Structure 1
């Protein structure tokens, strides 16, 4: 039987009831099965050289190589997935640690062994390759090969590619050093609270920013950014190196600029990025009004930068056991039809997709992790007295249903969807859940809490991520135009954005622009905009589906089934939202304004 946990009960992994754990036995029933597939991949690594130089000799040889690559990659994915999941559930266990280490070494060796495949395919005459892949035997591989051929103008000679591969480790040095510096070396000290001295860290900083005690927030804010101030020159130098690495690669690979290089794999035109920024700028009056409402509700003459994350509504008291949370989610997702809700209900319960509760050694937070084999697993640390955990379960359930449909409707070579699309499926479910809970809420406090959560999520995901995206664009353009990056230039650029996005309602401190030096996503360039486009697309699609038109629902479900069979702009257009145009982002900001109106009216009562 399942045991509903209170927030005080933390079991050892071997004490957790089976129903509360995810069914990793669906991947491998035991260690010996896992080891057998591990050994298969090891042998395949040794076999890989036998395929080198054969891919372009005939369609038969090409097909044989693709089948071998496909079948072995599928096994390798399962081997690594199992090791990752077991380690996430119990990271202190020696067996899971050893297995994870073995899996990481295996996948590194596998990637190195098959690294010749892509350049060798691209070296074959393109017309010849296309004549082969349109033969029926190539049906499972056609999409993947066509996507690979798009990169042909940006692939270099084999020797040049080897040099770039070797240089890649050096290129990652800035990101790795930034992580080591800020996560390991930085000592932020402690903060004196009513409960005694509490450590200030990267992970506790957000908790301090949500504390109701304003003096405590200010103290934590100044102390936290004071450490960044001491190391600002080193961090600026690291970020400059990262940006220059991006630009170096874009030039070597014959892209027009660095942003185009990062948008190319998803076939996203730079106008999508620019439309996002422009549409968000149009909504600045709404965002500034949000901060003014925040100022009034907190009873402040001036809202400081350390005041913008305090919840405006005290957490309402709830008690939703896990099974009850599932029932709430299933009812909320009813507009998606019986097939969707039956699958997700079974997945969240008896099918055991979910590792439900905290246990000793378990990874914190939540994630969805689906592969081609096995189930679309979800890690939770569910707490029955935290309403946000119901939203988190719905969010991760959205990812898992996306994985479920993608894997069952596409061949392995083209089942995997992009991050651009992933954030649509997850936040879509949250929109339906919020709408359902608002309709069912029987108190003003509950309605205000849900509206506040929706507003804060849109601010964090649409507005804030767009600000980050704009910062990346400005800095890369600065370097591409020949201007050097300095601490002062970075701070000036970031401060200008803070002033634009927060408006006159928010008082910036001297330290405020140091925030631009602490964002790890900046070392993975032109990535964060996908969060903003994702929530914009999901809001537009959720509005359509909630109106109850079966054709809108069916188009959305077809989007979930499309996997990696096409490109994100195309798959979303078929679903009913055209992200190549500014309208979806404008609709999202309009929705933000509507929620703001409702929240302000409720708060006045």
Structure 2
């Protein structure tokens, strides 16, 4: 869909939007189920005090809680996806607001359950776990029991549950500020004024006109600069919540609490940062190459996304992108490709930008609904073809997980999710490089792949290092002022980008515009994910049926295994720093190939 202006939501053709009817056919149907959800609150108390009586009584509660959870997930996904269509739409925000209130109340009403389960004597629980009626809940129960040292009393858990409604306030305010309230204006181009937004930003940064990039960069960051105190206050508030919650639950740090659910040792996080820091040489070498090829006296922050091969122009309509992705993923078999292709050409995806729509891209797979994809697809940005393959990987992971596991443990971790998505990107790159008919196209694609690995491995590790620094400051009692947040981020910018880069005064505002920081210690999983996926892609493509079957065992495992174990089944050990080092080596080899192609 070509457009020179950003349309209103009502102006987007229906066939380009997602069809949420697999969740609910209408808002009215959603409200009807919301009433049913609210009514179920009255039944929760009937189970209290019964869970330790027998395996059957425990199973009765878990059956009720499972059905409540399935209903809750459907309600949540529908209203949240509706809200992302237009963050300023009052009707969708009202739905989300009402659900959030009821959800918080039901969470509070259920707060007694986990402590009561954990109070069941170990010997009796061991007997319960052997009962046939608890078979589908066995993994879920074992995960609950693992949390036993960090679960508080019934009264304390109830108080925490009552506070849950306000937990997302900082993130919600950040989203409204950056997606709705801030007007980034427009940029004058040779084709006339073009709107600047968080979605069009990436397109501007890839333009060959350096002055255009500079003006877009300055205009973009000027808006963040004008809201620096609000942004810093919101992020500092989010960090404080992380630290308080960790202390309440008896964890030594916010990071330890964040890694605990996945049973990931903090050494995995430290190994990632340390290994990448030991391999910054190829990254600095790449930026030096950029500086030489672009012929600029000083490399600036707005110079790092523009393709080094300017002669290659490519426009890829949505349907063509789906064709390319289908061919690239052929090694995964007919079923995988047919399912994904049908979804992308059907209405799994909300394809294009509209006013108020949430920026970026994501996949939203649930147990009962289709694995939806939000895109802000631009035909002239080849990165968006890779993004579509990436989100398709997430959606297919959800597709297989939901069809091979019971609800209570079908959900895979984010640690695993980033493997399935970046695996698809690697297959897409290899396919496009193989099909490239000219040296220019091959050079362009290698440059593109370098930039993708850089963004996922190096950049996300920089983000992870920043998160750890900021949370450590809060835990040490250091005030998180706007100047301190910016100085910490600038230090990391200078370390990761190296001596070739000259930053703007406002460049360190980047650290206050990253949405993922509001989900603490999340971004490191991108870096571990791409390291695992590079190893697995090589294993699948160079192997046979067993290697492919191992990968599908991973896709189907859902939450039946912890992520390190699930990846070991697939054929890679993320408990070791070796996959990270190999990923850095792959990056170094690509940089060397690019140097040779560019002469």
Is the Cα contact below 8 Å between 2:326 and 2:337 reproduced in 1? yes
Aligned residue in 2 for 1:325: 321
Q: 2:115 aligns with which of 96, 104, 119?
A: 119
Q: 1:135 aligns with which of 131, 148, 154?
A: 131
Q: Structure 2 regions of 5+ residues with no counterpart?
A: none
Q: Is 2:582 the counterpart of 1:553?
A: no
Moved more, 501-510 or 538-547: 501-510
Is the Cα contact below 8 Å between 1:7 and 1:383 reproduced in 2? no
Is the Cα contact below 8 Å between 1:355 and 1:378 reproduced in 2? yes
* TM-superposition CA deviations, 1:224-278 (whole Å, max 9, x none): 5556556656655554444343333222211122211111111110110011011
* TM-superposition CA deviations, 1:440-470 (whole Å, max 9, x none): 1112232222222211111111111111111
Change (3 A) 1:484 1:576: same
* TM-superposition CA deviations, 1:74-94 (whole Å, max 9, x none): 133234434445565688988
Q: 1:537 aligns with which of 532, 537, 540?
A: 532
* TM-superposition CA deviations, 1:382-430 (whole Å, max 9, x none): 5655543432332222111101110111001000111111111111111
Query: RMSD between aligned alpha carbons?
Result: 3.5
Q: Secondary structure at the match of 2:136?
A: coil
User: How far apart in 1 are the matches of 2:191 and 2:212?
Assistant: 12
Moved more, 448-457 or 371-380: 371-380
Deviation for aligned residue 1:65: 0.7
Q: 1:430 aligns with which of 399, 419, 425?
A: 425
Is the Cα contact below 8 Å between 2:293 and 2:308 reproduced in 1? yes
Aligned residue in 2 for 1:245: 241
User: How far apart in 2 are the matches of 1:360 and 1:478?
Assistant: 38
Deviation for aligned residue 1:472: 1.8
Is the Cα contact below 8 Å between 1:209 and 1:217 reproduced in 2? yes
Q: Is 2:44 the counterpart of 1:48?
A: yes
User: How far apart in 2 are the matches of 1:389 and 1:232?
Assistant: 29
Deviation for aligned residue 1:285: 0.8
Question: What are the residue-to-residue correspondences of 1:507-546 with 2, within 5 Å?
Answer: 507-546=502-541
Is the Cα contact below 8 Å between 2:109 and 2:158 reproduced in 1? no
Q: Secondary structure at the match of 1:127?
A: helix
User: How far apart in 2 are the matches of 1:508 and 1:14?
Assistant: 40
Change (3 A) 1:97 1:342: same
Aligned residue in 1 for 2:208: 212
Q: Secondary structure at the match of 1:306?
A: helix
Aligned residue in 1 for 2:394: 399
User: How far apart in 2 are the matches of 1:560 and 1:432?
Assistant: 16
Q: Is 2:263 the counterpart of 1:267?
A: yes
Q: Is 2:398 the counterpart of 1:409?
A: no
Change (3 A) 1:577 1:164: same
User: How far apart in 2 are the matches of 1:321 and 1:327?
Assistant: 10
Question: What are the residue-to-residue correspondences of 1:167-566 with 2, within 5 Å?
Answer: 167=163, 174-175=170-171, 205-222=201-218, 225=221, 235-236=231-232, 238-314=234-310, 316-318=312-314, 320-349=316-345, 352-355=347-350, 365-380=360-375, 382=377, 386-566=381-561
Is the Cα contact below 8 Å between 2:259 and 2:266 reproduced in 1? yes
Deviation for aligned residue 1:151: 1.2
Q: Is 2:72 the counterpart of 1:68?
A: no
Is the Cα contact below 8 Å between 1:87 and 1:97 reproduced in 2? yes
Change (3 A) 1:442 1:69: same
Is the Cα contact below 8 Å between 2:104 and 2:165 reproduced in 1? no
Change (3 A) 1:150 1:78: same
User: How far apart in 2 are the matches of 1:450 and 1:418?
Assistant: 30
Aligned residue in 2 for 1:574: 569
Change (3 A) 1:321 1:483: closer
Deviation for aligned residue 1:576: 1.0
* TM-superposition CA deviations, 1:121-146 (whole Å, max 9, x none): 22333432332123221111111111
Q: Secondary structure at the match of 1:504?
A: coil
* TM-superposition CA deviations, 1:101-130 (whole Å, max 9, x none): 655555444434433322332233343233
Q: Secondary structure at the match of 1:375?
A: coil
Moved more, 453-462 or 235-244: 235-244
Moved more, 487-496 or 91-100: 91-100
Change (3 A) 1:492 1:424: same
Is the Cα contact below 8 Å between 1:83 and 1:99 reproduced in 2? yes
User: How far apart in 2 are the matches of 1:377 and 1:245?
Assistant: 30
Change (3 A) 1:402 1:314: same
Change (3 A) 1:459 1:358: closer
Moved more, 236-245 or 299-308: 236-245
Deviation for aligned residue 1:519: 3.2
Deviation for aligned residue 1:52: 2.4
Change (3 A) 1:111 1:14: farther
Q: Secondary structure at the match of 2:528?
A: helix
Q: Secondary structure at the match of 1:416?
A: coil
Change (3 A) 1:174 1:503: same
Is the Cα contact below 8 Å between 2:474 and 2:480 reproduced in 1? yes
Deviation for aligned residue 1:203: 5.1
Deviation for aligned residue 1:7: 4.9
